[in-house]
Structures are given as structure tokens and as C-alpha cells.
Amino acid sequence: MKTVRKAVLPVAGLGTRVLPGGKTTPKNLLNVFDRPILAYVVAEARAAGIEHVVMVMGRGQGAIEDYFDRHVELESHLEARGKTDLLETLHAELPRPGEMSFVRQMAPLGLGHAVWCAREVIGDEPFAVILPDMLMDANPPALAQAIAAYEAVGGNVVVVEPAPPGEAHKYGIVALGEPAPGFAGRLNRMTGMVEKPPPGTEPSNLFISGRYILQPDIFAILSAQEAGAGGEIQLTDAMAKLMTVQSFHALQYDGSTYDCGDKLGLLRATVAFALKDPELGGQARAAVAALLKG
């Protein structure tokens, strides 16, 4: 079994659900409390043992590359004023040499197409896909939980969680088979996937929530994949085809998810991470309480 060393982060979305905030700032660089969404996601990848992150970007997103690069003037300014703590924070987020690649998705043709754009960097090895919109607060990190499941059962693994009551028809829902040993019933073989099933026909209430471990065979399928829902090349369609020849397991991860592609989800994430901050959490709690009092 090959080790999962690389992760694909599709960051080329236009961010229409967070407009006007995402008009000039790539949506994944919008802040959650004190740093961009992407900073949390890259930290999650590193904590899971990922050695190489592939950002699949679109037009006008050069700010993402700039964020993960040196800012000589700012660093010199901080150093001259003795602000070493801030300088160390900036340095900690910089990628190591060869740790990060940037790939261009020339047209918004869907998640499957974005993943396919990373094929040359990924090569012939299993890899992770992280949807940056879905910020997951977990210990151990959600991706680390997925990799642990992969190391136990092999094949392909997707992270799932319960859909809000009555809303399963809005998501990609998984059908489950027998549980895998050693995961307290949280890891099950998948027998199918249904994208946005009609209400009352859902095979479960568990939706695919933004972390995947996939085998490289998915690239050959995506190469010939026709456009599906929304006129886009859907990753779930390719996964369904791969499922006919390879095993898939669904992992109900232990943690909390915030959909930061949505304004209220971004707000929830900001409040949640502010309250957990070791330095400012107490002040954040007092500020939120004061606002709620009106």
C-alpha cells in the first residue's frame, strides 16, 4: 500500500455565495478570525503528513501564490521593530522548498476537471483531495482521520457526516455496506453514491463533506468523463465508475464542519475559531456576549 503524500486543493471557484467579499479577494483567502481559510486547510494537510500540496487555481487568483511566498518588505518592517512573534507566525506558514505547486484550471468545468488538472503533479500514487470551502475543526485533523482509515482498509476513502434534518436531498449521499473493524462503526464499505436524491429516496443521511483519499486510476476515468450535472465534469460521477472495480469506504469523522463558501458558515467559523483562540478567546467570548445582549 502506497503512502498518501500529496493533496489536491481545488481553489479556482468564483465564490459567488460570498459576493461581494469574494469579488477581488479569492474566496479561500477570506479570513476566519485571524487568518485565511487556506491557512487552516494547509495546516491540516501538514498535520496529516502531507508532503506536497497542489493548488488548482483559476484566473485572477495570484494572491494565493503571494500569500504562500515571502513578503520581504513586511518581514523587514517587523524585524526592524522587534516584532519577532509576528515574524515567526508568518514564517511558519511558508511552504518548504518543493512543498507546494500551483496548477491553472483554464475554465470552470467542475470539481472533477479541477482534480484532473493536477494529474501530472500527482503521478501514479494515491492522493488526498481537500475542498477548502469545508473548514473542519477536529483533533486529530479530519484528513489525518481519513488517512488512518485508508491505511486500515486501502482503496478509496471519503469523509462523510450527517446532513441537517430534512436536507439530505441537497447533497451527495452515500449508501453503506458492512462496517470495517476497529472504527466503532464509523467506517463502512460504500455500496453507492447518489447526487441530490429526491426527498424520501436517500439511501442514508450521510453526505460527502470535503475530504477524499483517491487512487490515481481516477484520472483515466476523468479524462474521458462527460459533463454531468450543471454541465460540469463531476468528481462523484468518476468515483461511481471507479467503485465498480475498486473498494470505497465512508468515514464518519469526529469533528465540526463549517461551510466557508457560505456567508453564515464563514461567520460561524470565525466565531468558533475566535472562541478557541488561546490568547483572545476570553475577549472574543465577551465581545460576542455583548453583541447578543444588543
Which tens digit of pLDDT belongs to each residue from 68-78?
A: 998 889 989 98
Average pLDDT, stretch 214-243? 87
Rounded to an integer, what distance in angstroms lies between the CA atom of residue 38 and that of residue 23?
17
Percentage of residues of the chain with pLDDT beyond 90: 68
The amino acid occupying position 201 is: T
Greater pLDDT, 144 or 89: 144
| CATH class as words, domain 6-293 | alpha beta
Question: What pLDDT does residue 23 have?
Answer: 82
The amino acid occupying position 185 is: G
Return the SS3 of 270.
helix
User: In terms of C-beta density within 10 A (0-12 exposed, 13-18 middle, 19 or more buried), how is residue 240 classed?
Assistant: middle
Average pLDDT, stretch 82-91? 89
Per residue in 239-292, pLDDT (tens digit) is 999 999 999 999 999 999 999 988 999 999 999 999 999 999 999 999 999 999
Q: Are 11 and 132 in contact (CB under 8 A)?
A: yes
Quote the pTM value. Answer: 0.91
Per residue in 33-76, pLDDT (tens digit) is 999 999 999 999 999 999 999 999 988 888 999 999 988 899 89
Asked whether the predicted pLDDT for residue 231 surpasses 80, the reply is: no
Return the SS3 of 100.
strand
